[in-house]
Amino acid sequence: MTESAGHPLLALIESALAPLGARPMGATDEALLVAYAELEMELVWTDLDACLHGTDPAHWADAVAERVVHLAAEARTDTAEPADALATLLPVLWGESSARDLARRAPDVLAFSQAPGLITTLAAPTVNGRRFVQRAELESLGQPAPALVAAALGNLRARTGEDAVQMLRGDEAGLSYGLACDDGLDSSRLLILPDLLPQFAEQGLVAAIPARDFLVAAPFCRPGLAALRGLAQVAHDGARTMPQPVSGDLYWISRSGTARIGVSPAADGRPHLDLPQSLAEHQAQLAARGLW
The whole-number pLDDT of residue 140 equals: 81
Rounded (5°) CA angle 134-211-229: 140
Instruction: Give the three-class secondary structure for 24.
Output: coil
pLDDT < 70 stretches in the chain: 1-52, 57-84, 126-130
The whole-number pLDDT of residue 281 equals: 92
The whole-number pLDDT of residue 57 equals: 64
Q: What are the boundaries of each domain within the chain? A: 8-77, 82-158, 165-288
Chain segment 243-269, per-residue pLDDT in tens: 889 999 999 999 888 999 999 987 777
Question: CA 144, CA 116: separation in Å to the nearest integer?
Answer: 21
The whole-number pLDDT of residue 67 equals: 66
Question: CA 269, CA 266: separation in Å to the nearest integer?
Answer: 5
Q: Tell me which long-range contacts 268-272 makes (C-beta under 8 A, separation of at least 24).
A: 270/229, 270/233, 271/229, 271/232, 271/233, 271/235, 271/236, 272/232
Q: How far is CA 5 from the centre of its chain?
A: 30
Q: How far is CA 234 from the centre of its chain?
A: 16
Instruction: Give the three-class secondary structure for 260.
Output: strand
